[in-house]
Amino acid sequence: MNLKEIEEYVTEIQEQERKCRNQTPSIIIGETKVRHSFKVRDIALFLNSVLDLIKLLILLKFRRNVALTKRIVYTGTGSLQVVNGKFEDRIVKPLFSENIIFINSQKSTRIRKINNQNVYNIGSLIKPLSLFYNKDLSHKMRVFKAYMTINDLVIRQLAGNEVYVICLWEMNTLSLVFSNYRSKIKLIKIQHGSMINYPPYVKPAPIKVADLIYVKSQSTIDFLNTHLCLFYPTEYALLPYPPRSSTFVPGIHLLYASTIEINGLHPVFASYLEHNKDPQIHVLIRLHPREREKRVEFERAVKNFIGKFEFDDSKSWIESNKISNLIVISPWSSILEEAADNGVTAITVDRVGKNRFRHLINNKTFFFSENLTETIQEILNNSKWN
């Protein structure tokens, strides 16, 4: 594909993804403040990234016996969790945790170590490098070419290494998909959210986007085979869910999974908390990884709730929550899909979620609701929980 055709494809899937994320007004959190970087910090990030790239290229070129045994994982802070003050990967860890070369592709963040392994930061090189490309190109494609230039330097040194990516429609991943050196790597996509009915995965791709895709269910494989991967057959592997043991606990137990685009509590859930006066209700809130810093705001939003309230900070909600009569609620977090896969009752409270998870909604174990009081009572009436 030529550059114009690539731009058309990238623009289409990004625009579809943007439209899908039409936000419902939030209850608690106003506009997110934009942090303006200091020039000194930008320079430091850039110089450190230059040094990281040089170190990485030296490793790949002059220590090939070591480098060719490594898995390459492109990552960023959204794919990590902090454990005892240190970054740990939360996406590939169910599959492997050692013998990794981590590459941070984020443009404004420097990460030193993940899983106590070195990280090579390349993201801060992208903006300065993009300034050197033809001004007739759109900003989007200058960024694309900057990522491609850096990543081509890296993967041309490889020979069959597994390269793992998380997000399909980011420019870093797309630069790997369309790379001139694509044949030198095995490109692997790991599912970290719901794929079924989500725009970037709906349109059949004009190129093989991945050699292997790790997914959470057979239904996702069936969907990809008739949508994204229709023209270019792809290998699949199932991600293992952690074991879950649970017992009945009297009361109403709700796990609310936040969705970052909502920027706070969804109005439907906030209204339920405001008007429900049952002190026996137990609410867990699990924050999206990029909403961790909003914990105080979420606490403020539920300050008048008279039931029991706490945060779920566990590595895996499936493992940590031992309550069989748990109800998972979210606008459109992929945790809803995980709940359905593991036999946990789930409710989407947003019309975007209703569209995304329409294949799961059966009004028995998976619901769409704009009145949680009525829906939760319906669940209780039609279950063996009482």
Stretch among 22-26, 48-52, 60-64, 217-221 having the lowest mean pLDDT: 22-26
User: What's the pLDDT tens digit per position in 121-134?
Assistant: 999 999 999 999 88
Which residues share a beta bridge with 118? 113
Q: Which two tokens stand for residue 173?
A: 């991943």
Q: How far apart are CA 11 and CA 140, in angstroms?
A: 9
Provide the pLDDT confidence category of residue 78 given band limits of 50, 70 and 90. confident
Q: How far apart are CA 83 and CA 265, in angstroms?
A: 26
Q: How far apart are CA 264 and CA 258, in angstroms?
A: 7
| DSSP tag of 27 | S
Name the packing angle between helices 267-275 and 372-381 (round to 10°). Answer: 70
Long-range contacts, 224-229 (Cβ 8 Å, 24+):
224/195, 227/201, 227/202, 227/203, 228/195, 228/200, 228/201, 228/202, 228/203, 228/204, 229/204, 229/205
Quote the pLDDT of residue 34. 45
User: What single-letter amino acid sits at 347?
Assistant: I
Provide the pLDDT confidence category of residue 315 given band limits of 50, 70 and 90. confident
Burial bucket for residue 31 (CB in 10 Å: 0-12, 13-18, 19+): exposed
Q: How far apart are CA 78 and CA 165, in angstroms?
A: 13
Handedness of CA 272, 274, 280, 285 (dihedral sign): positive
Average pLDDT over residues 7-18: 86
| DSSP tag of 361 | -
Highest averaged pLDDT of the listed ranges 29-33, 127-131, 297-301, 365-369: 365-369
Handedness of CA 364, 365, 369, 375 (dihedral sign): positive
Provide the pLDDT confidence category of residue 300 given band limits of 50, 70 and 90. confident
**pLDDT beyond 60 at 38:** no
* H or E element in which residue 121 lies: strand 117-121
Domain residue ranges of the chain, discontinuous segments joined by +: 3-238, 252-381
Which residue carries 């969790």 as its tokens? 81
Q: What is the dihedral of CA 67, 46, 165, 116, to 10 degrees?
A: 60
Q: Which two tokens stand for residue 207?
A: 């190129």
Q: How far apart are CA 344 and CA 360, in angstroms?
A: 12
State in words which class domain 3-238 has.
alpha beta
Query: Which percentage of the chain shows pLDDT scores above 90?
Result: 62
User: What's the pLDDT tens digit per position in 237-248?
Assistant: 999 888 888 999
**pLDDT beyond 50 at 224:** yes
Q: How far apart are CA 161 and CA 317, in angstroms?
A: 32
User: What's the pLDDT tens digit per position in 319-348?
Assistant: 888 999 999 999 999 999 999 999 999 999
Long-range contacts, 349-352 (Cβ 8 Å, 24+):
349/266, 349/268, 349/269, 350/24, 350/259, 350/262, 350/266, 350/268, 351/24, 352/20, 352/21, 352/22, 352/24
**pLDDT beyond 70 at 31:** no
According to CATH, the superfamily of the domain at 252-381 is Glycogen Phosphorylase B; (3.40.50.2000)
Average pLDDT over residues 305-330: 90
pTM: 0.89
